[in-house]
Structure 1
Amino acid sequence: MRPRYKRLVDNIFPQLPQDGLVKSNMEKLVFYSLSSPEKLDRIGEYLFQRASRDISRKRNGFVVIAMEAMDQLLVACHAQTLNLFVESFLRMIQKLLESTEPDLQVLATQSFVKFANIEEDTPSYHRRYDFFVSKFSSMCHSNHSNPEVRITIRTAGIRGLEGVIRKTVADDLVENIWEANHMDKILPSLLYNMQDSKYYKDETGSPEVEDKNDPALLADACIRELVSRASFGHVRSVLRPVLRHFDLHGLWVPNSFAVHTFRIIMCSIQSQYSYAVVESLMSHLDENSDSSPKIRTSITHVLSKIIAISAEESVGPSVLEVINSLLGHVRMSASKVSDTEEAQYREALIGCLGEFTAHLPDYQKVEIMVFIMSKIPQGNSRDDSRLQLMLLKSLLTVGKRYTNIAMNTTFPVSLLDPLLRLCLSGGIDTALMVQGILHVLLDRHSNAEKLSRPTLDVADAGLAFEPCSRSDTIFMRKFGEEIYTCLLEILSLNDVTVECIESIYTTLALIAVELLTAHTITAYLTMVYSIQEIALSQNNSLSFPRRYNLHAVVAALLVLVPEIMQIAPLKEYAGKLIGERRSAGAAHLLPELLVTYPGEVTPPAFQIPVNLLVDQAVLGECLQAAGLDTTVMTRSLTHRHSWVESTGVTMRGSVTDLNSTDVESANSTPGLPRKYPEEELSFEAMKRVLADSTEATKEEEKQKREQLFNAFRNTTFKDIVNNNTVRFQVVIFI
């Protein structure tokens, strides 16, 4: 009298559980289910009842047979009524997971994974997976006394979570797996299994042996799949529990596991969303601003390892947002008490900045350098000086990753002017840092190391250079005076050091190698001669060793110029001058630069014999002999821009022109009185001349308007037409 479906279900069970499922009867049950799909839900319910009874009676063999039958029915039937059967199936899974038998829990997990891989024809609106998320997560933390059983249960839990993710993440109608209550269970469970593995103790995170049943590898794969399915709105849902897990379990120091985890995330996430990961880490760094420097340093190192992946996808405001955030942390760190750990944190921030910019296009690197420059304070306080150096170091880090193609692109006014201004207004340390930035940006042929110190052996240095382009020549003619003025001002400072002088020599030498042409050599040699004037000037209080250092720099630059421009007369003159200094025993006027010199070379600098000094007239003759145009006089390097005056630095001497009295005799005779000695040459006189001319012009225009008005009033139309003069005036009037 029992229904047929019950008889078919009963027939699949053998008398002894060890005999296994009766396959012939199972085929009959499957055929009946396909023929009468409306009975499928009743079959599922009856199988659940039998399994529940067997579980309570500890007859696990029959439970396994019932579960196997459920699996076969699930795979074979795809009717619309499958949803009702699934409810019984999931109840069966839950019943097995609630048992204390590890074998039944593993069996239930395996069945759930099979179910997760099945695509259902119709969506389910009421199915929930809360229990499965909680249970599988708890299995991931199993601490069973038997190591093999513990690994088996953890592996089953991870596979179960993977099944839940696959079943729910692609169906918007089922439960939202991205909710915080689910993510807070899933991700810590996966990370817990990864962090205990012996495979992920190194920075690379590459396992030596791949074991498909290793919980760490399974958790790794599960996180990758979860992150790869995350949309932009769900990225932070994944990252929040990850960051919280690292905080609670102290996994930032050491940070090898953190680096590995975030590399997994960055490599798995959709590329257009990678910036969200960087943004979340930056926000987390903000939240840890009061944490120990070690933790902040470790978080920054993690950023450095992954930020390059995000840089390629960052465009527009997002780039400056990252840079601004990093600079903000540099500023905060600079305001704190400086110690070893805090210094390491700042270095990590600057390194992170460099890693981010290294993968950006060059035009964005220039924008970033300008942006960093705008953040540098102009004050002279101790805190401002420290922040200046840190931000300049950040700018230097960006500059090292920049490829200079054209000087006008590399040095926009918004970057060059503030750099020169800061070089003058800051201390020697700031000036040194600015020189380092100039070296990095100017050096296109890797000559900076060869020109790090003044030398007379430039011919053997193996310098690499190529002809200067027209755009670079225009740049130098436009901004050369500003650069030279700035460098001369630094050289005239009383506290200038040997290191600073050597750095300025490198800057000038790189300018010569990269930018020297027939159009710029006159201004360059004018500047070289001006260095000698500073060394000879009695208006400054430079020490004797510093004056000798400047003479040595002049000699080194004078030797360098003809090597680049191939000017034979100038090369001959430079060799002659060097020879005379050596013959006269004036080695202190030649490289290398020393901090102190022997006591016997301490005469006043201005008493150096004339034949040992660079002769301005001879320089002009050498250029003229080489066929270079020396009639165009270079402008004096005076206070051309208001920014020089704003620094509060007064010029100690202007740069005189190269052309000597002999060279310029064709145009003028020195020493003659002014042509109009009675003229008053002053600002007030010029102001009066301009005012008078303006009044005269206004009066003349007034008279012309009155004449034109009278002509129209007193003349007939015919006379106006016949009068060419009046007609021309009419046209002008119209």
Structure 2
Amino acid sequence: FRCLGLRGHHALIRKTANDELQNDVWKHMDKIVPSVIFNMEVREQDRQSTPMTPTSSQDNVGGTVTPEQIELIDRGTAIVNDNPSVLAEIVLRDLFCRAHLNNITACVQPILTHLDNHAKWIPVDFPKYIFSGIMNSIKHHNSYLIIELLLGHLEKHFDQEDTANIKTSIMNVIQDCMVFAAANTGAVKESFYFIEREIFFMLKKLGSTMFTGISRLLKFLKKSFQIQSSRNKISSVNNQDEQQFQTAVINGIGDFAEKLPDFQMMEIMQFIITSLPSLSQGYEESTQDSKAANLKLQLLLLKTVQKVAATYQTVHRRETSTQTTFPHQLFDPLLKMMSAPEPEIRLIVLEILQSLVDRRQYADKLRKIKLPKDISQLELPTETKPNRLFDIAFMKKFGRQFLSQLYQSILMDNNTKDIFHAIYCLMNLVTLEAGDKDVLVDVIHFCFEIQSTLTKMSDSN
């Protein structure tokens, strides 16, 4: 009987796709969709359909399927006749294949309500299973709307002060959807010359919406931190649930950035860096507790930048020049924070700069101070390529400013051993990446100046 009912739903969806009555049908999705989701609630071993992890398809740009493909699946799958879970999955995917932009909200909201009312967000496997099917079925240029709806739903749970583990599960679903959207946006951009002009403008809208989504995620991060801080004042018990949510947000932004082109990864880091002052507002600098809270929030946001920077290091091309890597909107704030009074901020900024400068993965060999008799033992071969001229030009233009901030950072009284190791590593990376005699001379003069200053300070004491 359940299969018969699902086939009735499926027939209704197919019939109304190009029917005059379709406007009336979308109003009743709050009754149709929950019954479909109910029939998808099966154990993992009972799911005999194809796994729907968010990956892009080589044969179909955007990784989505068409209604015709789903009809073929329906006819060619024998197990559909007696397995309501498989049939329900097909109905859901066909629904989102045929749904237009104006009807997507009517289809998604009943799913979110069902997951809330029946406490199905935990464990997260089932919500991921649902939304991976949706993202694989929906038109790629409409995928941003799914993310918007999930972000709005997450905000409602913040307002209701739900437990953090529910918010973490929703965030994990958002993370998968963001990665799917970014990956398929990239796939379409690579095929730009083979698609219509209208699709390009849709992609631009998708990109701007994604940055709006990141802005909302950063605000959620701040809210979560404020909740954690207020609870810590009441109880000494560490709130692990909020920390897990914060980690999920940071990982979500990092995994999303990993699928984007280089220039968009830079834009994300710029966006977060420029958001630091506004997101830190609300903490009056009048008490020691408020200063500590502000510092922890800034470190949390910088860890998000560090996650993106580490991703950039692993996926970006070696040919990328430092002029491309360091637009002034990113470079200037990082330089200023190199001389911040808090050692924790200085350390994480130095580590971010290491990730951005290190294009040949030398940092692992340079993080610990070593003085080998033969420098070749470190296996750090320098390369001479035309693109290094950009690096040299960059260093000649901004090198003195960079060394000046580094000089102030070295002379800070509250430096730690880790900070000195980070400075040592960064200076070596800059010298190796530039590969220029003039830059090397400037670095040597800089070292002599540091040595002279430290000697004078030692003599005066």
TM-score for the superposition, normalised by structure 2: 0.79
Greater displacement, 445-454 / 479-488: 479-488
Q: Name structure 1 gaps, 5 residues minimum.
A: 1-152, 539-604, 608-734
Q: In structure 1, how many angstroms separate the alpha carbons of the residues matched to 2:334 and 2:175?
A: 27
Aligned to 2:454: 535
Aligned partner (choices 245, 256, 265) of residue 365 of structure 1: 265
Aligned to 1:417: 332
Q: In structure 1, how many angstroms separate the alpha carbons of the residues matched to 2:38 and 2:428?
A: 58
Q: How does 1:213-224 map to 2 (within 5 A)?
A: 213-224=82-93
Whether contact under 8 Å (2:367, 2:422) holds in the other structure is: yes
Q: Does 1:192 align with 2:83?
A: no
**Post-superposition shift, 1:305?**
1.4
Q: In structure 1, how many angstroms separate the alpha carbons of the residues matched to 2:402 and 2:303?
A: 20
Name the amino acid aligned to 2:218. L
Q: In structure 2, how many angstroms separate the alpha carbons of the residues matched to 1:369 and 1:306?
A: 20
Q: In structure 1, how many angstroms separate the alpha carbons of the residues matched to 2:225 and 2:22?
A: 51
Q: Does 1:525 align with 2:409?
A: no
Name the amino acid aligned to 1:296. K
Aligned to 2:105: 236
Q: Deviations over 1:309-329 (max 9, x none)?
A: 212435342232122111111
Aligned to 1:337: 228
Q: Name structure 2 gaps, 5 residues minimum.
A: 54-76, 186-202, 230-238, 286-290
**Post-superposition shift, 1:211?**
2.6
Q: Deviations over 1:173-206 (max 9, x none)?
A: 4662111xx211111111111113444689x957
Whether contact under 8 Å (1:190, 1:223) holds in the other structure is: yes
**Post-superposition shift, 1:210?**
7.7
Greater displacement, 348-357 / 318-327: 318-327
Change (3 A) 1:245 1:504: same
Aligned to 2:364: 449
Q: In structure 2, how many angstroms separate the alpha carbons of the residues matched to 1:401 and 1:370?
A: 15
Q: Does 1:437 align with 2:352?
A: yes
Q: Does 1:302 align with 2:173?
A: yes
Change (3 A) 1:426 1:250: farther
Name the amino acid aligned to 1:349. V
Q: Give the structure with the higher percent helix.
A: 2
Aligned to 1:355: 255
Q: In structure 1, how many angstroms separate the alpha carbons of the residues matched to 2:213 and 2:296?
A: 22
Whether contact under 8 Å (2:52, 2:129) holds in the other structure is: no
Aligned partner (choices 510, 513, 532) of residue 432 of structure 2: 513
Q: In structure 2, how many angstroms separate the alpha carbons of the residues matched to 1:210 and 1:426?
A: 68
Structure with larger Rg: 1
Whether contact under 8 Å (1:293, 1:345) holds in the other structure is: yes
Name the amino acid aligned to 2:376. A
SS at match of 1:336: helix
SS at match of 1:496: coil
Q: Does 1:211 align with 2:111?
A: no
Q: In structure 2, how many angstroms separate the alpha carbons of the residues matched to 1:232 and 1:465?
A: 53
Number of matched residues?
A: 386
Change (3 A) 1:426 1:236: farther
Name the amino acid aligned to 1:288. H
Q: Does 1:376 align with 2:276?
A: yes
Aligned to 1:162: 10
**Post-superposition shift, 1:418?**
0.8
Q: In structure 2, how many angstroms separate the alpha carbons of the residues matched to 1:216 and 1:190?
A: 9
Change (3 A) 1:231 1:175: closer
Aligned to 2:214: 323
Change (3 A) 1:460 1:478: same
Aligned partner (choices 238, 262, 265) of residue 131 of structure 2: 262
Q: In structure 1, how many angstroms separate the alpha carbons of the residues matched to 2:301 and 2:52?
A: 36
Q: In structure 2, how many angstroms separate the alpha carbons of the residues matched to 1:174 and 1:384?
A: 52
Q: Does 1:253 align with 2:101?
A: no
Name the amino acid aligned to 1:282. L
Q: How does 1:170-185 map to 2 (within 5 A)?
A: 170-173=18-21, 176-179=24-27, 182-185=28-31
Change (3 A) 1:261 1:194: same
SS at match of 1:357: helix
SS at match of 2:365: coil
Report sequence identity in percent: 31
Change (3 A) 1:187 1:459: same
Aligned to 2:96: 227
Q: Deviations over 1:23-48 (max 9, x none)?
A: xxxxxxxxxxxxxxxxxxxxxxxxxx
SS at match of 1:285: helix
Q: How does 1:567-606 map to 2 (within 5 A)?
A: 606=459
Q: In structure 1, how many angstroms separate the alpha carbons of the residues matched to 2:8 and 2:433?
A: 65
Aligned partner (choices 374, 377, 398) of residue 308 of structure 2: 398
Q: Deviations over 1:616-645 (max 9, x none)?
A: xxxxxxxxxxxxxxxxxxxxxxxxxxxxxx
Q: In structure 1, how many angstroms separate the alpha carbons of the residues matched to 2:44 and 2:414?
A: 58
SS at match of 2:364: coil
Q: In structure 2, how many angstroms separate the alpha carbons of the residues matched to 1:210 and 1:482?
A: 69
Whether contact under 8 Å (1:158, 1:222) holds in the other structure is: yes
Aligned partner (choices 377, 400, 415) of residue 481 of structure 1: 400
Aligned partner (choices 280, 285, 294) of residue 154 of structure 2: 285
Q: In structure 1, how many angstroms separate the alpha carbons of the residues matched to 2:138 and 2:395?
A: 47
Q: In structure 2, how many angstroms separate the alpha carbons of the residues matched to 1:226 and 1:199?
A: 25
**Post-superposition shift, 1:412?**
1.4
Whether contact under 8 Å (1:301, 1:352) holds in the other structure is: yes
**Post-superposition shift, 1:530?**
2.3
Whether contact under 8 Å (2:105, 2:149) holds in the other structure is: yes
SS at match of 1:401: helix
Change (3 A) 1:509 1:171: same
SS at match of 1:519: helix
Q: In structure 1, how many angstroms separate the alpha carbons of the residues matched to 2:23 and 2:302?
A: 52
**Post-superposition shift, 1:172?**
2.3
SS at match of 2:362: coil
Aligned to 2:298: 388
SS at match of 2:121: coil
Q: In structure 2, how many angstroms separate the alpha carbons of the residues matched to 1:429 and 1:488?
A: 17
SS at match of 2:438: coil
Change (3 A) 1:210 1:331: farther
**Post-superposition shift, 1:334?**
2.2
Change (3 A) 1:395 1:263: same
Aligned to 2:421: 502
Aligned to 1:93: none
**Post-superposition shift, 1:506?**
0.9
Aligned to 2:65: none
Q: In structure 2, how many angstroms separate the alpha carbons of the residues matched to 1:201 and 1:435?
A: 48
Q: In structure 2, how many angstroms separate the alpha carbons of the residues matched to 1:440 and 1:160?
A: 56
SS at match of 1:485: helix
**Post-superposition shift, 1:387?**
1.7
**Post-superposition shift, 1:537?**
2.8
Change (3 A) 1:192 1:162: same
Name the amino acid aligned to 1:214. N
Whether contact under 8 Å (2:171, 2:248) holds in the other structure is: yes
What is the root-mean-square deviation of aligned Cα atoms in Å? 2.4
Q: In structure 1, how many angstroms separate the alpha carbons of the residues matched to 2:84 and 2:254?
A: 36
Name the amino acid aligned to 1:247. D
Change (3 A) 1:250 1:431: same
Whether contact under 8 Å (2:52, 2:133) holds in the other structure is: no
TM-score for the superposition, normalised by structure 1: 0.50
